[in-house]
Amino acid sequence: MSEAREFDLIVFGASGFTGRLVAEYVQERYGTDGGLRWALAGRNESKLEQIRDELGIDPGVAILKADVTDADSLRALARRTRLVLTTVGPYQLYGEPLVAACAGAGTDYVDLCGEVAWMRQMVDKYQEQAQSSGARIVFSCGFDSIPFDLGVWFLQEQARAKLGAPLPRVKGRVRRMKGTFSGGTAASLQATLAAARDAEVRKLLVNPFALTPGFEGPKQPPAAEIEYDQTLGSWAAPFIMAAINTRNVHRSNFLLGHPYGEDFVYDEMILTGPGDKGEATAQAVANDRSLTGDKAPKPGEGPGKEERENGFYDVLFLGETADDRTLAASVSGDKDPGYGSTSRMITESALCLLRDATDTPGGIWTTAPAMGDKLIRRLEQNAGLRFALED
């Protein structure tokens, strides 16, 4: 990609709640004197100027007008920068014109998408063009699915080094989590439910291998009911993000050439504790419909700074080799998952593509094969994440 482009990074959607957090983090971490040429883009220039002023961003950071309903404006945007970071969702409603613009211009792209059927449609339509142009398009660069995709990759790398074998069975278990899901996540889920009226979309949504075109692996655990995990001594409930995270983990295995094995089995659940209380909590989690009801958070809404700063998450990954040896790892974050941590993860993904993973070729990627340990290092150094083996 041409180094002569005007910008390294454009934050598209900076007037939204999460986009504003991204802009704030870019300013705090990288500013305007660290060699990063960046700009803010969206449809409302005056609102972006107001946000730039409120966040104390240098007036030299450009404000660019672009609209998801104006494909020409998106093509012009893509030609001016090395990478576009977009928080404008739901992506199945607003995302394709920007993906098309970046794939055509050879411009890198990162987003927060958790919409499996749309992602598969984008793979089918733009993979070859992205490979030809050199555009690295990476979906799901937030809480869905970085801690999970990179968590499994980290565990598998450790297994190869310490056990000399892959882990064909891995369980992802959320041990602790404090924070809220974003309004964008709720909007994406609601848009997905609406799209599921289409039979082809429904087929993709229920297929664990929806993102591995031409490959179907073994039957996967449904993880749709509560269960008692004897190994961990805890009840477990279905985890709402599993439907996207598991698909991304399988795509990573696919893109890497199946180092986890073609017989790889993976599921995710959330632990709720032992005894009657743990069982009752698991049942309540399984029956929760808060992200699809009238009280779901709306795009543009979100928690205050104190709530974001006090959030956290801790995810356990338990792996087993074909000969029953085990290995465990964890991924933790020190901010709330939906906002504080997500805004840092997507920004560091963008910077990793620009500065570290420069040899990754064009195509539509997941985070593990595109960036792997390079992104883990960034997340640990800058974003408050920790990847560790468990005793």
pLDDT tens, 355-365?
999 999 999 99
Instruction: For the chain, give the mean pLDDT.
Output: 94
pLDDT tens, 226-240?
999 999 999 999 999
Helix, strand, coil shares, percent, the chain, to 5? 45, 20, 35
What is the residue whose two structure tokens read 């929760």? 288
Whether the predicted pLDDT of 172 surpasses 80: yes
Percent of the chain residues topping a pLDDT of 70 = 98
Percent of the chain residues topping a pLDDT of 90 = 83
Q: How far apart are CA 59 and CA 371, in angstroms?
A: 32
Whether the predicted pLDDT of 1 surpasses 50: no
**What is the Cα Rg of the chain in Å?**
20
Average pLDDT estimate for 20-36: 92
Average pLDDT estimate for 40-46: 96
Residues 75, 76, 78, CA angle at the centre, nearest 5°? 65
Q: What are the angstrom distances between the C-alpha of 249 and each of 44, 205, 329?
A: 36, 15, 16
Whether the predicted pLDDT of 382 surpasses 60: yes
Whether the predicted pLDDT of 3 surpasses 70: no
Average pLDDT estimate for 52-76: 96
Strand partners, 169: 265, 320
Q: What are the angstrom distances between the C-alpha of 93 and each of 7, 119, 172, 369?
A: 27, 12, 30, 27
- Cis peptide, bond prior to residue 182, ω within 30 of zero: no
Q: Of 284, 111, 297, which Cα lies nearest the Cα of 190?
A: 297
Predicted confidence band at 383 (pLDDT cuts at 50, 70, 90)? very high
- Residue pair 201/115 in contact (Cβ under 8 Å)? The answer is no
- Residue pair 97/91 in contact (Cβ under 8 Å)? The answer is no
- Cis peptide, bond prior to residue 90, ω within 30 of zero: yes
pLDDT value of residue 353: 98
Average pLDDT estimate for 169-174: 98
The residue that leads in pLDDT, 289 or 245, is 245
Whether the predicted pLDDT of 56 surpasses 60: yes
Average pLDDT estimate for 12-16: 94
The residue that leads in pLDDT, 348 or 297, is 348
Q: What's the DSSP call for residue 67?
A: -
Whether the predicted pLDDT of 188 surpasses 80: no
pLDDT tens, 142-157?
999 999 999 999 999 9
What pTM did the predictor assign?
Answer: 0.95
- Residue pair 126/102 in contact (Cβ under 8 Å)? The answer is no
Pairing of strands 169-178, 312-320: antiparallel
Whether the predicted pLDDT of 180 surpasses 90: no
- Residue pair 29/350 in contact (Cβ under 8 Å)? The answer is no
Q: How far apart are CA 386 and CA 377, in angstroms?
A: 9
Q: What are the angstrom distances between the C-alpha of 238 and each of 106, 218, 220, 226, 249?
A: 39, 20, 14, 6, 17
Q: How far apart are CA 382 and CA 65, in angstroms?
A: 30
Whether the predicted pLDDT of 306 surpasses 70: yes
